[in-house]
Amino acid sequence: MTNVWDTPLHDLDARTVLALIDTGTIRAEDLVQSCLDRIDAREPLIGAFAYLDPEQAMAEARRADANRDAGRLRGLPVGIKDIFDTLDMPTEYGSEIYQGFRPRRNATAVARIRQAGGIIPGKTATTEFAGLCPSKTRNPRNTEYSPGGSSSGSAAAVADRMLPLAIGTQTGGSIIRPAAFCGVVGYKPSFGMIDRTGVRPAVESLDTIGVFARCVGDAALLASVLGGDPQLGDSADRDFVPRIGLCRTRQWNDADADSQKAVQIAAQKLQSSHGVLRDFTTPQVFHDLLESIATIYNYGTLNSTMSEYLHNPSQLSAETLQLIEAGLQVTPQALCSARQHVAQAACAFDQVMVDSGFDVLITPATVGEAPQGLTSTGDSLFNKVWTALGVPALTIPHLTGANGLPLGLQIIGRRNDDRRVTASAAWIESVLAIK
C-alpha cells in the first residue's frame, strides 16, 4: 500500500509511520502488509531471514489496530536476530545443531518489543553462534558483496526496506560493521544497558544488544524501549551541538583511502557547521590492546560453545572450530592479564575523555567497503576496542567507496552517556544531510 504521497509504506522510517498510525491515517495492518510484500519480492535474492511467520505478523497488526494504547512501538515491524530466544518461533542460533529448536520463553528484549506494541514478522539470519562463519545473507547494495556480520540479516532487512527496525548483538563489530556495509544506522549502546537474558552468549563480557534503523531518531526510539529509558528516545530531538574529537585510532593506516577520506570530509563539514572539533589521541595503554581483546574473545568463544564442541564437533564450522582451538590455548594467567589490560584501558579512556572535554569522537566504522563475495563478513578492526571498553558506538552512512558501496562514520561516547551520543549523532546526521 502507498500513502497520499505515493511512497510505499515500507519505504518510510519508523517514527513517520508511527505518527501515521497514531493519527489513524494508516493502519498497522497496511504497514505490515507492505513490509511482507517487500519481503516476498526480495527475500529470495537477499536471504535476510532465518524464519518468517506472515500470518502471525498480520494477526499482531490487527491487534495493534484494535488497541490504541498498545505502546511506543505500536504496529512497527521489528526483525529479531536469530540468537534471541522466541517462544513462538524457532531459534536456531545460525547452527544446524539447533534446527527447529523451540525455546521455552522469550528473551527479555523480545518481550519488551511486544509489550511496546512491536510486531515480529520473523527471525533474521545470523552467522553461526554470532561468530565468524558467514550466513546466507547478501548485501542489498550489491548482492555480490558481504553484508557483514554477525547481525547480517538484521542489517540487510533494514537496508532493503523490508523492515523499519531490527535488533542484533555486537561482540566485536557485529552491529557497526554490517550497518556500515549495508548503509544504515547501527547503534551499540553501553555495555549492560539492555538486558541480555534469553540471548545466546558469544562472549559474556563483551556481548551487547544493539539496533538497526534508517535514522538516528529511530535507533534511539527502539533502544529506549529495550533499555527502559524514555528520555533516550527523545534525545535525538535535542538542540545540541557537540564537542567532537577526531580519533584516527592506532589502526588509521589500516583503513583504505576511501574510508580515511570519508572521515576527513565529515570532519571538515562538521567544523564548518560550528561544531567544535579537534584531534584526539588514544591513551598509551591502548598499545597492544587488540591482542588482549583477542585473548578474551577466544576464551569466551570456547566457554560458550564447549557443549557443542564436546557433543557435536562435526556440525561446527571451520571458523568456529578455529576460535575454539585458539581458546584452548589461553592460560589462566593470560586471561587474567588481558582482562586487567582492558580494565586499565577503560579507566584511562574515561579519564582522557573527561580531560579533553569532548562529547563524542568520530572514527572510521570499517576498514573500507564491504568485501566482495560471501566467504568473509569483513574486519572489525575499528570496532573491537570500543566494544571491549563497553562504550556506546553508533554508525551513520556517509559517502561511498570506489565500488559504489556505503561507508560509515562511527561515533563514540563515554560509557553510560548514551543520551549525549544519540543527541550528538542526530546533529552530525543533520549536518551531513544523511537520509
Active site residues: 81, 150, 174
CA 58/CA 80 separation, integer angstroms: 17
Q: Cell numbers 536456531 correspond to what residue?
A: 92
**Is the bond leading into 150 cis (omega within 30 degrees of zero)?**
yes
Distance CA 295, CA 123 (A): 31
Whether 161 and 172 have beta carbons less than 8 Å apart is answered as no
Handedness of CA 67, 28, 211, 425 (dihedral sign): negative
- Among 142, 158, 411, 384, CA closest to 275: 411
How many Å apart are CA 43 and CA 316, to the nearest integer?
26
Please give the C-alpha separations between residue 137 and each of 140, 150, 410, in angstroms, as whole numbers: 9, 10, 23
Q: If we measure between CA atoms, which residue out of 20, 396, 18 comes closest to residue 213?
A: 396
Q: What is the DSSP string of 134-194?
A: --S---TT-TTB---SSSHHHHHHHHTTS-SEEEEEESSSTTHHHHHHHTSEEEE-STTSS
Instruction: State the Cα–Cα distance between residues 370 and 147, nearest whole angstrom.
Output: 7
The DSSP call for residue 104 is S
- Between helices 257-272 and 418-431, what is the axis angle to 10°? 90
Residue 98 CB contacts under 8 Å (≥ 6 apart), including other chains: 91, 92
Give the count of beta carbons closer than 10 Å to the beta carbon of residue 281. 13
Q: Coil, strand or helix: which one is 272?
A: helix
- Going by the DSSP 8-state scheme, the letter that residue 92 receives in this structure is -
Q: Which of 3, 16, 22 is nearest to 74 (CA)?
A: 22
How far is the C-alpha of 310 from the C-alpha of 306, rounded, in Å? 6
Decide: 351 and 244 in contact? Cβ < 8 Å. no
Measured distance CA(430)–CA(27) in Å, rounded: 30
Q: Which helix (H) or strand (E) holds 360?
A: strand 360-364
